[in-house]
Amino acid sequence: MKRDLQNHDMNSLLPDVQVDRRGFVAACIAAGFAVTAEPLLAQAIKTPMDGLDGGDIKIGEIPAYYAVPKSGGKRPVALVVAEVFGLHEHIKDVIRRVAKEGYFAIGNEPYFRIGELWKLEDLKQVLAGANQLADDQAFKDLDAVVAWADKNPRASTDKMGITGFCRGGRTVWMYSAHQKKMGAGVAWYGGLSPAQPAITTTPLDIVDKLNAPVLGLYGGADQGIPQDQVDKLVEALKKSGSKNAKQSEMHVYPGMPHAFNADYRPSYRKDAAEDGWKRMLAWFKKNGVA
């Protein structure tokens, strides 16, 4: 399976920028993409706002971004939870893509109290920052987003799903055990191990508490999420007495790395990403979130 994954520079996106290291950082920030995910590839998908309403908003003190089709009445809600870098341009683009599928799509910046993690040049600093966010705070913020959507005339939280990537994929599992209104979840390569100091529980700990069935999409060559962790979660879901746990599913893409949906990074794998997208939409529809 051949893919054009050459290390294209930012010139295709910002023609006047000279991309040395300093220029690369400035270019990424200007384009809104995570600096630590270098090199930023020209293949990065850009979804226009054509036919959509939305944009950057504040929900209380929480920065957020939403998109919804201009036409039609109330739309089912899809929460989109950011990867470890936060609510940067790639996640906003995903929100627009989800909206174009007919959803009121919305995501919040999980790490705004900690800092703009997507601007950091050192991945260790990014992880150290993200690992300070406790689930209780993340849940409170997401609850505030849901409450805001519930009052929006374009949104129907009676039909609500959640999807997320990387750390956001883990949040899909955890929040699906917290939010009773959740109808379905799709976790893209969500972490399955603790991360000190704040991440002390894992999806394995909450399978019996799921309020909605979750579809897990994982890469068979993900070095950060070993196959034995995936196997343990599969077994826990099977053995659970919870209906939602038993209805949950895991799909592993052989040979695929972490972040195979991140089209702006070298980890992107087009075939797996497109298949995962179809599975996500089908999962939402199957579980009444459509």
**Catalytic pick from 141, 166, 178, 263?**
166
Check 88, 90, 178, 258 and give the catalytic one.
Answer: 258
| Residues near 231 by beta carbon (within 8 Å), at least 6 away in sequence | none
Catalytic residue from among 9, 93, 222, 263: 222
265 within 8 A of 42, measured Cβ to Cβ: no
Question: ∠ CA 130-166-13 to the nearest 5 degrees?
Answer: 95
Label residue 235 left, alpha or beta by phi (over 0 means left) and psi (-120 to 50 means alpha): alpha
State the first-to-last Cα distance of the chain, in angstroms, to the nearest integer.
33
- Whether 258 is catalytic is yes
Beta bridge partners of 156: 76
Alpha carbons 68 and 77: distance in angstroms, whole number:
9
At residue 124, the 3 state secondary structure works out as helix
Would you name the residues annotated as active-site residues? 166, 222, 258
